[in-house]
Amino acid sequence: MQNFEFYNPTKIIFGKDTVNELDQQIPKEAKVLILYGGGSIKKYGTYEKVTKALGNRQYVEFGGIEPNPKYETVIKAVDVIKNENIDFLLAVGGGSVIDGTKFINLAAHFEGDTKDLLIYIDAVDSVTKALPIGTVLTLPATGSEMNRGAIISFKDGKYPVFSNLSFPQFSILDPTVTYSLPDTQVANGIVDAFIHTVEQYVTYPSGAKFQDRAAEGILQTLIEIGPKTLENPTDYEMRANFVWSATMALNGLIGSGVPQDWTTHAIGHELTALYGIDHGKTLAILQPSIWTIRKKQKWDKLLQYADRVWHIKEADEETTIDLAIEATRNFFESLGIKTRLSDYNLSESHIEEILSNLEKHGQMALSETGDLTIEDSRSILENAL
């Protein structure tokens, strides 16, 4: 096990009818900024629950935070925070709304060009205080409700921004709030949580036995409940397990003391930025190919994954691994997610452009060992056609 620090002060309030808890969690005298996305929270009743729970508190709204939230969009909220003397940020949405809210909070308390927050760690670290954030999660997927990270899009790049000030003070996870999600968003969320988990698990053995078991537990849970929660969105037990697994997949716990390989997200971000493919779908396209191309480097953990997650154990090790990769692909497909670039009308001719963007964004040394080159990315993309 590698040395590690684990710190996660976000309070989770989980369960049925927990949106009411807002009243307990936000100071009575606070002036609240409610941040949200495209307005589905108004369509499906969540907005009403939230404003009811806020009672007599003053609040202002900032809507329109899009998927893969753009710097240009979210930065507009900074003026609202300042002009309206906001005391508390309440993000009501999925990972994009929460990520946007985290960035807005840092930007509102940063002296200087706020674009620097996307690029310079020193800029982020120069922010020493910010408003408290609360969230009401409407889309389980990214884990943003219980971590310190945000990913912000700017021009054709995606920029991760990490700060301890970005941990939500609390997050309300009411599975019933997610019942009205479209199937495609649920499927994307399941894949996103699945990939977060394997990126912290299918690397090389590091002797972190509980972390491995916990990662396998998340994967087994997602495999078990994925198709069921799609088929029957109002089955509370299935949906609750989806929500909690997605949070656990990226709250720092399974990543403590282990190597991590964020290749799938790195290449996936380029596919989203260039062609607008849903984030979850880019991950489903890439993961089987990454494992195929990096089979040798991930051999031992792929065998462990095959055995413990899929109960596959053939006499021949490579056959075992290949079957596990195939099982993973089939799982994604069973959720209605296509797993080939060609399914999204991308062909060989697009690969150069993707590689060029990876280079432009400094993604030439990916993987848990930092030795996944642009040529390896080419092989991965060719394999994914």
* Chain contacts with a copy of itself (rule: CB under 8 A): 1-16, 18, 207-210, 212-214, 216-218, 220-221, 224-225, 237, 240-241, 244-245, 248, 253, 256-257
Q: Which helix (H) or strand (E) holds 139?
A: none
Which pair of structure tokens corresponds to residue 257? 């003391």
Q: How many CB atoms lie within 10 A of CB 311?
A: 10
Nearest residue to 222 (alpha-carbon basis) of 202, 267, 192, 182: 192
CA atoms within 13 A on the CB side of 344: 23
What minimum distance in Å lies between the beta carbon of 68 and a copy of itself?
27
Cα gap 337→230, rounded to integer Å: 12
Closest distance between a copy of itself and the C-beta of residue 246, in Å?
10
| Nearer residue to a copy of itself within complex by CB, 120 or 210 | 210
**Least CB distance from residue 205 to a copy of itself, whole Å?**
10
Question: Which one, 20 or 383, has the nearer CB to a copy of itself?
Answer: 20
Minimum distance from residue 143 beta carbon to a copy of itself (Å) = 13
Toward a copy of itself, which CB reaches closer, 69 or 168? 168
Q: How far is the CB of 27 from a copy of itself (least distance, A)?
A: 16
Strand partners, 173: 14
CA atoms within 13 A on the CB side of 318: 6
**Residue closer to a copy of itself (CB basis): 129 or 209:** 209
- Cβ neighbours of residue 95 under 8 Å, at least 6 residues apart? 139, 141, 142, 143, 144, 145, 192
CA distances from 88 to 70, 98, 108, 164 (A): 22, 13, 12, 17
Between 241 and 297, name the residue whose CB sits nearer to a copy of itself. 241
Stretch (H or E) spanning 76: helix 76-83
Give the position of tokens 């941040």: 35
Q: How far is the CB of 126 from a copy of itself (least distance, A)?
A: 19
CB nearer to a copy of itself: give 223 or 323: 223
